[in-house]
Amino acid sequence: MTLSAEERYPVAEPRPAPTLADTGPLGEILEATRARHLPNRQGALADYIPELAAVEPDPFGLAIATVDGRLIATADAELPFTIQSVSKAFVYCIALELVGRDAVLERVGVEPSGDAFNAIVFDPHTNRPFNPMVNAGAITATAIIHQATGGHAFELILERLSAAAGRRLELDEAVYRSESDTGHRNRAIAHLLHNVGAIDGDVDAVLDAYFRQCSILVTACDLACMGATLSHIGENPITGRQVFDLTAVRNTLAVMFTCGMYDYSGHWAYDVGIPAKSGVGGGVVGVVNRQLAVGSFSPRLDAKDNSVRGVAAFKDLGEELGLHAFECSNIGSSYVSALLGAPQA
């Protein structure tokens, strides 16, 4: 018996609304971080997508979701915006799960490109996209899902992202139309991918699924929950639903660490030191393995197309909470500690 996507990955009941009541020191740190960077008006909106150029530029929301199921949020953390490139990480995870690591690696690599996210350039040694966090690689990952699901890529992507967020997500129809009407550069990339054999089938159908996945509405709280699902080895820590395969999660986090912040990824790994993904809608999600995830939303972007306030807030939170992967106070997996046992006297 073949199960539908809805039957295989049913969407959880809506999560409880987050509250700042009794959040303790973590809530205080989150509020202080927001207050510190709220006056920052640097950066600009993503004006190459008409609908994004018209959004309100001033909101700034932060949220933290922990692997023990707590959700802490500031003001503006439940304001909706489109997920844009943050979707790439989760779509890559789905592609890995559907067809396996080796099959995905045959069509998209895992090396940082050093180029802009929308660059029309492939790895000269493989003639494939450098990694799944740039547009060429992300379109390829969507094409893999499109092929594996018999043309039902977007339906599966929406169901899985909804399960990770812990509530049913929706499409922003206006942004989808805006991206579809103006996405000529992505069309050029997709046709070149088809020409070199990185994607098969109906190019227009793959692009439609890609434009739709980027136009899914989320909040900073959603991103925190989705990130915490990766942090919790694929299980949503609030709903208890297993959403992603653990091996696919590990590989996804590795690529997020090295490639997730466009051509700022090296500095991000150096300064913040956690797997993350940003989007031109103003969202950023960061994942601290087996501990927590942070979601942020602020639409003004820097020259690398990352959220100005989001990057600044992550730097502060990483420093104050010791989140860097190589921070001496980050003790790592409790599973390893349990295996090693208590130190001998």
- Which residues are annotated as catalytic? 85, 88, 210, 262, 280
Distance of alpha carbon 95 from alpha carbon 103, whole angstroms: 9
Distance of alpha carbon 94 from alpha carbon 89, whole angstroms: 9
Look up residue 133 and give its two tokens: 């966090």
CA angle 143, 145, 150 (to 5 degrees): 95
- Amino acid in position 196: V
Helix (H, G, I), strand (E, B) or coil at 297: strand
Compute the 3-state secondary structure of the chain and give helix, strand, coil in percent, each to the nearest 5.
Answer: 45, 10, 45
Where are any strands of DSSP class E within the chain?
61-66, 71-73, 81-82, 170-171, 216-218, 276-278, 283-288, 292-297
Distance of alpha carbon 228 from alpha carbon 287, whole angstroms: 7
* Residue 149 CB partners (closer than 8 Å, separation 6+): 5, 98, 155, 156
Q: Is residue 159 packed enough to be buried (19+ CB in 10 Å), middle (13-18) or exposed (0-12)?
A: buried
Helix axes 203-214, 153-165, angle to 10 degrees: 20
